[in-house]
Amino acid sequence: MLVGLIIILLLVLTLPFFVKAVEHNLEPFLFVMGLAATVISGVLSGHLVEEIFTNHLMYMITAAVLVFGLLFSVFQNQVQKWIRRILHHIPLNFFVFLVIAILGLISSIITAIIAALLLSEIINALPMERKKKVNTTIIACLAIGMGAALTPIGEPLSTIVISKMGESFWYLARLIGIFIIPGVIILGITGSLVAGKGQKNNNEAEEGEIPDLEDETITGVFIRAGKVFLFIMALELLGAGFKPLIDTYIIHLDGRLLYWINMISAILDNATLAAAEISPEMSGLQIEGILMGLLISGGMLIPGNIPNIISAGKLKITSSEWARLGVPLGLVLLVTYYLIIFIL
């Protein structure tokens, strides 16, 4: 079992970067890998299938992607006009800072899904070259993934932690808000530096040119919603398939070691890892370390978090493009937070 799961882990980590067919069909690939993981670990059963298909979050997320996608397809031109008007009054880099900081901080209230959908539409309308749009999206998704953890309605990870700990609504905001809120602001500043001022881009906005990105279509909305549904199923299967391995070898380790091992949340559902690792018996320091490791790692690769897959699908960001910034940025944040949480 162990060898088989390690092989699957390596395939998930490498194939999207080296095989174009896998990169362009990430959702079905992850689904097949998840199915293989459940077979190898011996957990595939009718009960597991029933448990996955009765997960209301899967339908809520897909419905949100579908409904908001349809709304944006109707109002896309108006959104672009509103953004152009705003950019006549404030610099592009300051606007990008506001978008990242605000979406990151309110994602815990409007949910990470809605924040990611809003982000995708805003980025789509911004007068920037493709590379800047891609990098801004990666930074913003990391901010959204972190910020959404402040309340139990922001994302599944925070819901599970609150439930397991038996704590109140604002427990996570009190526990890790001191790490997350400054982090979101710093990511906003980083995004503004990436965007730059770009006088030429403002001219492009007036001419109505949105380079490299296609306008939304009704067919595209339904296809993306279907891909999100399949992606969530894939995460459920991967989480279930790797759970025996996590239960046997990982959850009993020291919190400082778990912090780094949780980098696997870059490809696995961080909510599954949180459910396996978090315990009411743990100290606040242990929980802080585990959660921050999961939240930061989730932004490193496309499969790491729902906002990533939504935004990457909408803006057609490839796995290699995401990893080019997501991995080094995530590593810098991991080292920084490790020093803050465990050393200082």
pLDDT tens digits for 150-179?
988 888 788 778 877 888 889 999 999 999
Q: Is 299 left (phi over 0), alpha (psi -120 to 50) or beta?
A: alpha
pTM above 0.85, yes or no: no
Amino acid at residue number 206: E
Instruction: Say if residues 306 and 312 touch (Cβ distance below 8 Å).
Output: no
Q: For residue range 286-295, what is the model confidence (pLDDT) as tens digits? A: 889 889 999 9
Amino acid at the residue 259: Y
* Closest of 138, 172, 166, 167 to residue 154, by C-alpha: 172
Report the chain's mean pLDDT, rounded to a whole number: 85
Q: Which amino acid is at 156?
A: P
Model confidence pLDDT, tens digit, residues 310-338: 899 888 899 899 999 999 999 999 999 99
Q: Is 42 left (phi over 0), alpha (psi -120 to 50) or beta?
A: left
d(CA 242, CA 5): 7
Contact 136, 189 (CB under 8 A): no
Name the DSSP class of 300.
S
**Identity at 61, one-letter amino acid code:** I
DSSP H or E run through 272: helix 270-277
What pLDDT, on the 0 to 100 scale, is given for residue 197? 59
Give me the pLDDT at residue 214, please.
53
Please say whether the dihedral angle defined by the alpha carbons of residues 159, 160, 166 and 167, taken in this order, is positive or negative: negative
Residue 236 has a pLDDT of: 79
| Contact criterion met (CB below 8 Å) for 290 and 338 | no
Report d(CA 62, CA 230) in Å as an integer: 9
Average pLDDT score over residue span 9-34: 85
The pLDDT confidence band at residue 134, using thresholds 50, 70 and 90, is: very high
Check residue 208 and report its DSSP letter.
T
Q: Is the pLDDT of residue 277 over 80?
A: no
Q: Is the dihedral of CA 14, 20, 23, 29 positive or negative?
A: negative
Per-residue model confidence as pLDDT tens digits over 182-227? 999 999 999 999 988 544 444 444 444 444 455 567 887 888 788 8
Contact present, 189 and 23 (Cβ < 8 Å): no
* Residues whose CB is less than 8 angstroms from the CB of residue 316 and which lie 6 or more positions away in sequence, other chains included: 213, 214
CA dist 49 and 319 (Å) reads 28
Q: Which residue has the tokens 């990533």?
A: 308
**For residue 108, which of 147, 57, 64 has the smallest C-alpha distance?**
147
High-pLDDT (> 90) share of the chain, %: 36
Out of 81-85, 112-116, 285-289, 290-294, give the one with best mean pLDDT: 290-294
Rounded CA separation 312/273 (Å) = 23
Whether the CA torsion 11, 20, 145, 310 is positive or negative: it is negative
DSSP 167: -
**Which of 214, 77, 201 lies closest to 129 in space, CA to CA?**
201
Alpha-carbon gap, residue 34 to 97, rounded angstroms: 37
In our burial notation (b when 16+ CB lie closer than 10 A, e otherwise), range 178-187 reads: ebbbebbbeb
Q: How many residues does the chain have?
A: 344
Q: Token pair of 116, please?
A: 């990611």
Mean pLDDT, range 251-278, rounded to an integer? 79
Rounded percentage of the chain residues whose pLDDT exceeds 70: 93
Query: Residue 201 has what pLDDT?
Result: 43
Q: Read off the pLDDT of each residue in 277-292 and give the average, rounded to a whole number.
A: 83
Burial 295-321 (b: 16+ CB within 10 A, else e): bbbbbbbbbbbbbbbbbbbbbebbbeb
